[in-house]
Amino acid sequence: MKKNSRFLSPSLLSADFSDLTSAFKFIEEKGSSFVHVDVMDGHFVPQVSYGQPVISSIRKCTKLPFDVHLMIERPENSIVSYIESGADFVTFHIEATCHADRCVQLVHDAGKKAGIALCPATPLSAVEELLPFVDIVLVMSVNPGWGGQKLIPYTIEKIRKLADIQREKNFKYLISVDGGINQETLEDVLEAGTDIVVSGSSFFRGNLEWK
């Protein structure tokens, strides 16, 4: 992954699961770099999505890397199984575990990229100690668990602060943003310093132009 590049990571959760072949074709045709795979357990967030068997079965549908976003409690208990299912990046929530450093180690020990995610109201200070070690910092710009929400404006400043730290300390993490990204909000998050744009509803509805 090159810094100073921008990457598109469509969220598969908003795809038509009755026609995933077309969904993956659309993702690839639009110049995407990754596929964002949202895993929800019904506890950390109210919704339930899919787990390891589904990820394993769709892994053959594309050669694009899978960025697996774990919206689950105690991710340290299942990180390895998600990697075995086909995850190339594993991003977990700082709010979901007291063993965050262990989670990063588990991902890196498997030769994969580790990401840390923050809910909108979680301050950057919660992940400060991990910033030298993670590959991705995912800023949730909506409350996790539901698609189609509007971007929360104060999360833009969080992206800016992460970009400042990234430059000042020469950290290697990429900044990802997830939630409410459409044609109206895209330029704001990119200007703030986003490297990876996650988009679900707007992407699959054709309301996001990516260049």
pLDDT of residue 4: 60
146 is in an annotated binding site: yes
Q: Could you tell me the two tokens for 86?
A: 């086909």
Domain layout of the chain by residue ranges: 7-204
69 is in an annotated binding site: yes
Taking residue 1's Cβ as centre, other Cβ atoms within 10 Å add up to: 16
pLDDT of residue 47: 86
128-137: average pLDDT: 98
49-54: average pLDDT: 91
Its pTM stands at 0.94
Strands, E assignment, 29-129: 35-40, 66-71, 89-93, 113-118
| pLDDT tens digit sequence for 2-43 | 556 899 999 999 999 899 999 999 999 999 999 999 999 999
42 is in an annotated binding site: no
What is 7-204's CATH topology?
TIM Barrel (3.20.20)
pLDDT of residue 208: 84
Q: Could you tell me the two tokens for 128?
A: 């400060």
Q: Are strands 35-40 and 113-118 parallel, antiparallel or unpaired?
A: unpaired
Catalytically active residues are 38, 178
141 is in an annotated binding site: no
99 is in an annotated binding site: no
pLDDT band at 145 (very low <50, low <70, confident <90, very high): confident
- Supply angle C-alpha 130, 110, 80, rounded to 5: 90
Contact between 53 and 23 (Cβ < 8 Å): no
